[in-house]
Amino acid sequence: MIPEEQFKNVISHAKEYGFVFPSSEIYDGLSAVYDYGQMGAELKKNIRDYWWKAMVQLHENIVGIDAAIFMHPTTWKASGHVDAFNDPLIDNKDSKKRYRADVLIEEHIAKIESKIEKEVDKGRKRFAEGFDEAQFRATNPNVLRNIEKIEEINGRMKAALENSQLADLQQLIVDLEIVCPISGTRNWTEVRQFNLMFSTEMGAVSGESGKIYLRPETAQGIFVNFLNVQKSGRMKIPFGIAQTGKAFRNEIVARQFIFRMREFEQMEMQFFVRPGTEMTWYHYWKAARMRWHRALGFPESKYRFHDHLKLAHYANAAADIEFEFPFGFKELEGIHSRTDFDLGAHEQHSGKKLRYFDPETNESYVPYVVETSIGLDRMFLATLAHAYAEEKLEDGSERVVLRLPYFLAPVKAAVMPLVKKDGLPEKAREIMQLLKYRFQLQYDEKDSIGKRYRRQDALGTPICITIDHQTLEDGQVTIRHRDSMQQERVSIEQLPALLESLVSMEAVLQRLNAEQEAYQA
Ligand code: GAP
């Protein structure tokens, strides 16, 4: 099945099994806004917990906060969002569709990149075992010509964006002969800037003076609380402040399900460091964040770094961790060296000192910041899309299974009496009592056992526990493993420890911590 088709199936699976619903669906939905259902809320919570524990619990020098969504409007003037949080937009006059100019150009570059990959594939087939890919890429004239093209386009785009030369951006679109995907024409308007922040009015004040914004990133709630946390927590540099919470952006190109939403959740950590050490910490956090992703056990080939050409207004170095979604490699997380831009700007706009006295150097300074920022919804999509599998079984039947990492699964175990009589439901209820304080469970007694297994596979439940007549005699149950579909008999007393060893987050965190210590050594 082609990835796009598989992606469509993932979206309908997410709805059918209670993971993600379109927002206010009875009114035909609201574009780029989604609700999480009963399974989705659990999976999202588990991903959030995994991030929080890895950040806050595993680092003595990182603490977590929960700042408000509404902030003083000057915050966004200081952060640069009022003036610079814009997307360059262009309209096609025939289709009346609006596009991000840089996205149109990036899509054009992606087409050239795929030409390069096709050329490399041809070379691989032609030279078979003697194929030296690095040499081929460095010498093949077609590959070199296309690389040169990409470099030229990137160079022009970067210059136009950095210097806010919107006419140059439009000229690039014209020169590249980019057509509107809907109308197929090149009948473009000029490129204009469009601010992405949502605004509303606070209290009884109307007009500009009462205007406040829904935060477009959670990071500013951390910056304005930097001294509060440092002083009240007696934090010593280097230290971090972590936060998860909603952010809002009036995205123009909102598509690909929950990949780009107008209301979404971020998990951000600002790490405050001594000026001059920021690049060391930038590289440290790039590696640390990649380890966090890799600990999920997805293939290494699913991830890559993408170093930014176009830096955000606050950064002096930035990279994305990209994940291979069904629609290609896309940004999953950003790691940014934000210098002293934010704290410096808040000092200026508030008139309050946001400095740290370093007892080691006897100096007072505005700390530099390295940020890690990941979208929870995007992480959810990466996890769900990778976990989704349609399988043909040995007996010729088919199943859809969510191969979620066990510790992230919404339901850890399903408890199932084989039949709804003979005291089996009562025994199953006893097992629910034994386990429900530690694990999210589902009690399921409807339909045949085969159908129930399929239902749990579709939810990603790692373990099914079946209670049969034999259980009443020997106190043993059948455990059925989601991935292998293997079954085994175990005693009821063994269940808590067995489940703990299979589905708890602890082992993953321990491995992550060991890797972290090895990296630091
Ligand atoms: N504080 C830095 C910051 O907000 P960003 O690269 O704009 O940086 C960070 O966003 C992460 O937030 C992205 O890597 C992505 O995972 C997520 N994100 C950004 N915009 C999003 C959107 N419209 N929908 C879903 N997730 C989004």
Phi, psi of 249 (to 5 degrees): -145, 135
Residue nearest to atom 22 of ligand 1 (CA): 260
Give the pLDDT confidence score for residue 5 in this predicted structure.
Answer: 86
* Atom of ligand 1 at shortest range from CA of 334: 14
Residue 206, pLDDT > 70, answer no
Residue 255, pLDDT > 80, answer no
* 266 CA → ligand 1 middle, Å: 7
Of the candidate ranges 2-11, 147-156, 476-485, the one whose mean pLDDT is the lowest: 2-11
Residue 44, pLDDT > 70, answer yes
* 275 CA → ligand 1 middle, Å: 26
* Atom of ligand 1 at shortest range from CA of 262: 23
Selection from 196-210, 297-311, 406-420 with the highest mean pLDDT: 406-420
Residue nearest to atom 14 of ligand 1 (CA): 333
Omega before 238 cis (within 30°)? yes
Q: Which of 335, 378, 383 should be mutated for ligand 1, with most atoms under 8 A from CB?
A: 378
Phi, psi of 378 (to 5 degrees): -70, -40
| Average pLDDT for the chain | 95
What is each CA distance from 24 to 35, 41, 196, 252, 361, in whole angstroms? 8, 17, 23, 20, 56
Give the pLDDT confidence score for residue 226 in this predicted structure.
Answer: 97
Residue 10 near residue 388, CB atoms below 8 Å: yes
Residue 225, pLDDT > 90, answer yes
* 379 CA → ligand 1 middle, Å: 11
| Residue type at 120 in one-letter notation | V
Report the predicted TM-score, pTM, of the whole model to 2 decimal places: 0.88
* Residues 153-176: tens digit of each pLDDT: 999 998 998 888 999 999 999 999
Residue nearest to atom 26 of ligand 1 (CA): 375
* 459 CA → ligand 1 middle, Å: 27
Give the pLDDT confidence score for residue 205 in this predicted structure.
Answer: 67
Give the pLDDT confidence score for residue 315 in this predicted structure.
Answer: 85
Q: Residue 458's closest CA among 469, 474, 473, 442? A: 442
Residue 251, pLDDT > 80, answer yes
Sheet holding 303-307, edge to edge: 62-64, 239-248, 263-273, 368-375, 328-339, 317-325, 303-307
* 417 CA → ligand 1 middle, Å: 45
The percentage of residues in the chain with a pLDDT greater than 90, rounded to a whole number, is 88
List CB contacts of 408: < 8 A, sequence separation 6 or more: 43, 46, 47, 50, 296, 383
Of all helices (H) and strands (E), which one includes residue 63? strand 62-64
User: Which residues line ligand 1 at a C-beta cut-off of 6 Å?
Assistant: 217, 219, 249, 251, 260-261, 264, 266, 268, 331-334, 371, 373-375, 377-378
Residue 129, pLDDT > 90, answer no
121 — pLDDT class (breaks 50, 70, 90): very high
